[in-house]
Amino acid sequence: MSDLRDVRTEAVEDLLKAVFTLQKQTDPVPTTLLAKMLNISAPSVTDMVKRLAEPTKNHAALLEHRPYHGVRLTPLGEQVALEVIRHHRLLELYLSQALGYSWDEVHSEADRLEHVISEQLEARIAAVLGNPRLDPHGDPIPGPDGTIDVPVMVHLAELASGQPAIVSRITDQSPEVLRYLSELGLVPGAVLHITNKSPLGDTVTVQIADVQHTVSLAVAVSVLVQNVE
């Protein structure tokens, strides 16, 4: 990787990671959306974006920026974002498996550590864990080369009634939501099917083993599943 020591701060890495996430929803990414996700002021985001969109003598630009349209990652920016995401998800899994953290505790800890671990430590963590592909929430872990394998999934709320499926990924990683899902058994690997959808579409009833639970649409859209043939 190019020498990024002149710009690679925690704030920059957080911004690049946020752009990577938001680009899956909208491309280019509006700076106002970035500011909201990062919980910082829009002018601060704009200033940072302008700086990262300029190449330096040491490296290419990390972002493409079109005023009043938004931003997207350059190949180098995506490489940095994926590296940070790899750190984060490996750390979450290590904290969970090796240190006994619950899955609602690991996100905030990994957020703090993802910026400081070395590539050597990252490689050792990956080796100890058996070079895993998924973190505790079902999020795919990018490979050392930046490749990332994302299977086809649908939101739980989109699942047809009676269609068996397996929980693959949880997108809302707020501790209270994760604890609630744990109580219901809506965790990666759980096999379920929908037994009922409310007439207004605001709740769904799912069955896991012999137990049924009715969950709100707000919760259901945070659960991604894969059909079981």
pLDDT at 70 over 90: yes
Q: 2 falls in which pLDDT band (50, 70, 90)? A: low
> What's residue 94's pLDDT?
98
Q: What is the mean pLDDT of residues 35-51?
A: 94
Q: 5 falls in which pLDDT band (50, 70, 90)? A: low
- In sequence order, what E strands does the chain have? 63-66, 70-73, 154-155, 165-170, 191-197, 203-208, 211-216, 223-227
Instruction: Dump pLDDT digits (tens) for 176-205.
Output: 999 999 999 999 999 999 999 998 889 999
Distance of alpha carbon 172 from alpha carbon 13, whole angstroms: 21
Helix-, strand-, coil-residue percentages of the chain, each rounded to 5 = 40, 20, 40
pLDDT at 1 over 80: no
> What's residue 192's pLDDT?
97
Instruction: Dump pLDDT digits (tens) for 114-149.
Output: 999 999 999 999 999 999 999 999 999 999 999 998
User: What are φ and ψ of residue 8, in 5° steps?
Assistant: -80, 80
Does the CA dihedral 133-137-142-147 come out positive or negative?
A: positive
pLDDT at 39 over 80: yes
Q: How many CB atoms lie within 10 A of CB 191?
A: 13
Token pair, residue 33, equals 């959306």
pLDDT at 51 over 60: yes
Reduced to 3 states (helix: H, G, I; strand: E, B; else coil), residue 213 is strand
**Which domains occur in the chain, in start order?**
10-73 (1.10.10.10), 154-227 (2.30.30.90)
CB 107 within 8 A of CB 92: yes
pLDDT at 65 over 70: yes
Cβ-based neighbours of 86, under 8 Å, separated by 6 or more:
122, 141, 142, 143, 144
Percentage of residues in the chain with pLDDT exceeding 70? Answer: 98
pLDDT at 36 over 60: yes
pLDDT at 162 over 80: yes
Give the mean pLDDT of the chain: 94
